[in-house]
Structure 1
Amino acid sequence: MDKEAFPLHFLVWNNQYLELDRELQNQQYDIERLDPRGRTPLELSVCLGHLESTRVLLKHNTNPTHCNTQGWTVLQEAVSTGDPELVQLILQYRDFRRATDRLSGIPELLSKLRQARDFYVEMKWEFTSWVPLVSKVCPSDVYRVWKSGSCLRVDTTLLGFEHMTWLKGRRSYIFKGGESGAMVMEVDHDKQVVYTEPLSLSPRDTPSLLAAMLPSQENTAQRLTSPIVSTHLNTRNIAFERNKSGIWGWRSEKTEFVSGYEAKVYSASNVELVTRSRTEHLSDQDKSRSKGTRTPLQSFLGIAEQHISSTGSQVSQCASPHNPTAITAEEYFDAEFNLNGRDIGRPIELSSKVQKFKATLWLSEAHPLSLAEQVTPIIDLMAISNAHFAKLRDFITLRLPPGFPVKIEIPLFHVLNACVTFSNLCGCDEPVSSVTVLSPQETTEAGQTPPPLQCEVDPSVFEPPPEYTTLGPGRSEPMRDEDDNLLQFAIQQSLLDAGTESDQGDSGISVFVTGRRREWRVRYRPTIILT
C-alpha cells in the first residue's frame, strides 16, 4: 500500500491517533480527501469504530456533515456501529457544525433580502395522508412572514414531531441585519423567553457553543434503537405539463383562482420519493418491537395481515472490530483490487422504497412576489433547521414553468403530503395591524408606471416584547434533523413491515400512529394513485 498517497487514512486504519494528531498539527493536509473507496478520513474512522481517531479528526475541524456517494451521512454510519459514545460524539460535532454554518450563511441571505421589496405574506401548510387514520392526526399551520429591509420575522405554531407527538407552540424567528452587525432571535411566546445569537462566532465562543451541543443520553439511545432512515426527492426526470379540464371530449387547459390570483395548474410527473432504511445496528428485540401483532382495530376494520418478504441487501463486511482480518489494508487501498462486494463495518441490512408521485403547482404570472428575490431567501433561512422547508426548497429550486407558485402540493414522506399556499399578501385579504399597504401615489413619482403591490412594515415587529427574558446563545429545543421530524417514526415502522418495494406502486404499507392516550397499529394494502 502507498502510505504516502493516503497518510491520514493509513493512520486512521491502524487507529494511530496520537501520531494522527501530531501530523495534523505539523503539516497541511486535505483532511476531506477521499480514499479509493470514496471515504474521507473521518468516515473511514467512524466505519471502523475508532473512537480515538474520530475525536482527533473532529478536533481538527473535519466535516461531520459529510454525505458519501451512497447517500449516507457520517452520523448514520456512526449509528450503524451501535457505539453510543461514537454516536454522541458525532452528533455533538455535527450540530455544532450546523450551528456555525447557519450563522455564517445568514448575512448573505439577509443581504439578498435587503435588495428586495418589503412585504408581508402568509404561507399556509396543510399536511395530508392517503393512509387511513394518519390523515386524521395531520395538522396544519400558517407561517406569517414580515420582511422589511434586512430584517425578517417568521411566526409558526407547528414545531415538529417527536415521540409520536406533534409539537405545538408559538414561536417567532427574527433575523436582523444592520451596519454594526446582525442578530438571530428565537422567541418562545409560551415561556416568554428570547434566545439570541450573534451572526458571527469569536474563538472564545466556540468551546461554550460546542459544549451546549452535547446531546442527551436519551437522544443517543433513541437513535440506536431506531432504524436509520434516509428520505429524498429524486427529480432528475421530472416533467411539467398543464392540467386539463372539461368533459365530453372538450378539454381546455385548467386555470383556478388561488388567493385572488388566476393561476395555471401544472402537474409535475416522475417525482420519485426514495426512502431507505438500515437496521443492522438493531437488536432482535428492537426489530421485533416494531412488528406488533394484529390489533382489535385491524380486526374491526377487516384489514388483512401483510406478509411481505424482505429483499434488503446484505453486504459481507470486513476490517472492523467485528472482523478485523477480512480485508487487509493493501486490499482496501488498492483501487484496482476487486473486493467482490465486501466492505468495512457491519453487514448492511437495507430496505429501500421508491414511489412515484405527481406533484401539483398553481402558477400565477400576475402575482407581485418574486420567487427568486423575495421568497427563496426566506425558505433558505428556514430550511437550515426545518425539515419540511428543506423539502420545499429542493422542489422550488427546480426550473419551474413561468409564474409564481401561489400553491404547491408535494410529497414530504411516503405517507405524507404537504400543500403550501401563499395568501394575504401585504394584508390585502385580511388586515394586519403591523402592515400598511402603500397606494401608488405614495410610491411613485408623477408620470411613472405604478409599481407592484407594496407595503410598509412597522419596525416594532422585529423587536421581542420588552417583558420577555433575554438569554444568550442557545435554543429552547435542539435543532432536529430530518429523520426526527414529522411522521418519521411511522415511516420507520412501515418500512420494517413493508420491506423493499418496487417503483411500480405500493404493494403494502404498515403505519403506526401513537398518541399519549391511544395507540393505533394499522396494516393497510391500498390500490390507489397518489397525487
Structure 2
Amino acid sequence: MLLATMAQEAFPLHFLVWNNQYLELESELQETGHDVERIDPRGRTPLELAVCLGHLESTRVLLRHAADPTYCNAQGWTILQEAVSTGDPELVQLVLQYRDFKRATERLAGIPELLSKLRQARDFYVEMKWEFTSWVPLVSKVCPSDVYRVWKSGSCLRVDTTLLGFEHMTWLKGRRSYIFKGGDDGAVVMEVDHEKQVVYTEPLVLSPRDAPSLLAAMQPSQENTAQRLTSPIVSTHLNTRNIAFERNKSGIWGWRSEKSEVVSGYEAKVYSATNVELVTRSRTEHLSDQDKSRCKGKTQCPSLSTGDGEIKSNQCGNYCLCV
C-alpha cells in the first residue's frame, strides 16, 4: 500500500494509466504542470505504458493531449510497434492515425524552411556507393549494395536508388526515383517506380488546414492494419558506435596511392567507412502459428534465434563515399 501511494505521488499519470482510470486521467491532464512525456524508472512514457497494457481509452486520452506517438524506447521499439504486439486492431489504428497526423503536421511546417535552404544551396550531383560485407564466408555475396545518385537543381531534388528496404529479413530491390519539386505555394513529392512504370504523387500545400480535418484524413485503412498484425515486427538500425573513416588506396603492394575518381567532371576523393553494423530484431508474439509459418519461409538472411519470439541479425558493413 505504501509503495502504491509513493508511485501515485511520484508518477501520477503512470499510476492512472496502470489502473486504466481514463476518466481521472482526463481530469488530471486538464490541469497544468503535468509532463505527458515523463519517463518512469523503467524508461516508459505514460503513452507507452498504456499501449503495452492494451488500455485503449487511456491511450486515446493521452493522444488527445498531445502525447508523442513517435516515441522510441531504449530498446529501439516504437509506440506503434508496441501497439502491434498487443494484437488489438483498434489500438493499432488509433496509434497509427495519430502518428501519421504528427508526421504530416511536422512535414508541412518544415516545407518553407526546406524550400529556402534548397534555393540558397548550390546545384550539385553526387554519387554514394555502399555495400555490406561480413567476415563469415560467403555471407558477403548475399549482402546488399547500392549506389545512391542525388541531383539538386534550384528548389528541386531527385534521389535514385535500387535498394528499397528491408522487410521480413529480406532485402527489397527495385528501381525507384524520389523527386521533390518545390514551388511558390508548396511542393510535390513524387515516387517513380520504373519497373511498374507508375508514379505516386503527394502534394504539400502551404495553405493552413485545420487539425481535425487533417487528423480525420490520416485514418488508416483496415487492410493496412491487418497487414501489420499478420507480419513480424521488425526493427532495423545501423550501429555506428565504432565507425571509422579512411582514404581508399589503389595500386599494388608497395606502389599504392590514395584513390580518386571522376564524378561529373570533378575529381573526388574516395573514403571507406568501416565497423558499421546493421542490427535487425524481430518480434512475433502477436502472430498466430499460421502467420509464423508463413513468415518463416521469407527469412533469407543469416539470423540467430534468441528465444521469446525475437530474432537478431548483425552484419558488418563497409561504405564507399566519393567527396
User: Which residue of 16, 22, 25 corresponds with 2:30?
Assistant: 25
Q: Is the 8 A contact 1:103 1:200 kept in 2?
A: no
Residue 102 of structure 1: how far off its partner (Å): 0.9
CA–CA distance in structure 2, aligned partners of residues 95 and 156 of structure 1? 25
Q: Is the 8 A contact 2:128 2:320 kept in 1?
A: no
Higher relative contact order (CA 8 A, sep 6+): 1
Taking only aligned residues, the RMSD between alpha carbons, in angstroms, comes to 3.6
| Matched residue count | 303
Q: Is the 8 A contact 1:233 1:271 kept in 2?
A: yes
Residue 173 of structure 1: how far off its partner (Å): 2.7
> Which one is further off, 159-168 or 11-20?
159-168
Q: Is the 8 A contact 1:104 1:200 kept in 2?
A: no
CA–CA distance in structure 2, aligned partners of residues 223 and 28 of structure 1? 36
Q: Deviations over 1:204-232 (max 9, x none)?
A: x2122111111111111111111111111
Equivalent runs, 1:484-495 vs 2, <5 Å: none
Residue 66 of structure 1: how far off its partner (Å): 0.4
> Which one is further off, 108-117 or 123-132?
123-132
Q: Which residue of 2 aligns with 1:514?
A: none
Q: Per the alignment, in what secondary structure is the counterpart of residue 231 of structure 2?
A: coil
Q: State yes or no: 1:65 paired with 2:70.
A: yes
Change in CA separation of 1:23 and 1:263 when aligned onto 2, cut-off 3 Å: same
Equivalent runs, 1:376-455 vs 2, <5 Å: none
Q: Is the 8 A contact 2:273 2:318 kept in 1?
A: yes
CA–CA distance in structure 2, aligned partners of residues 102 and 306 of structure 1? 34
User: Which residue of 186, 197, 217 corresponds with 1:212?
Assistant: 217
CA–CA distance in structure 2, aligned partners of residues 91 and 82 of structure 1? 14
1:359 corresponds to which letter in structure 2? Y
1:185 corresponds to which letter in structure 2? V
User: Which residue of 197, 201, 205 corresponds with 1:198?
Assistant: 205
Q: State yes or no: 1:310 paired with 2:305.
A: yes
1:198 corresponds to which letter in structure 2? V
2:188 corresponds to which letter in structure 1? M
Q: State yes or no: 1:152 paired with 2:156.
A: yes
Structure showing greater Rg: 1
Q: Which runs of 5+ in 1 are unaligned?
A: 294-304, 315-348, 364-531
Equivalent runs, 1:11-160 vs 2, <5 Å: 11-117=16-122, 119=123, 121-122=124-125, 131=141, 144-147=151-154, 151-154=155-158
Question: TM (normalized to structure 2)?
Answer: 0.80
Q: Is the 8 A contact 1:122 1:142 kept in 2?
A: yes
Q: Is the 8 A contact 1:75 1:90 kept in 2?
A: yes
Change in CA separation of 1:308 and 1:7 when aligned onto 2, cut-off 3 Å: closer
Question: TM (normalized to structure 1)?
Answer: 0.50
Q: Is the 8 A contact 2:232 2:295 kept in 1?
A: no
Residue 154 of structure 1: how far off its partner (Å): 3.8
Q: Is the 8 A contact 1:142 1:156 kept in 2?
A: yes
Q: Which residue of 1 aligns with 2:254?
A: 249
Residue 309 of structure 1: how far off its partner (Å): 6.7
Change in CA separation of 1:306 and 1:156 when aligned onto 2, cut-off 3 Å: closer
Change in CA separation of 1:198 and 1:283 when aligned onto 2, cut-off 3 Å: same
Over the matched positions of the two proteins, sequence identity in percent amounts to 62
CA–CA distance in structure 2, aligned partners of residues 110 and 28 of structure 1? 37
CA–CA distance in structure 1, aligned partners of residues 88 and 78 of structure 2? 16
CA–CA distance in structure 2, aligned partners of residues 139 and 245 of structure 1? 21
Q: State yes or no: 1:185 paired with 2:188.
A: yes
Q: Is the 8 A contact 2:188 2:204 kept in 1?
A: yes
Q: Which runs of 5+ in 2 are unaligned?
A: 133-139
Q: Is the 8 A contact 1:264 1:362 kept in 2?
A: yes
Larger proportion of strand: 2
CA–CA distance in structure 1, aligned partners of residues 61 and 163 of structure 2? 35
Q: State yes or no: 1:276 paired with 2:281.
A: yes
Q: State yes or no: 1:357 paired with 2:317.
A: yes
Change in CA separation of 1:64 and 1:208 when aligned onto 2, cut-off 3 Å: same
Residue 274 of structure 1: how far off its partner (Å): 1.1
Residue 352 of structure 1: how far off its partner (Å): 1.3
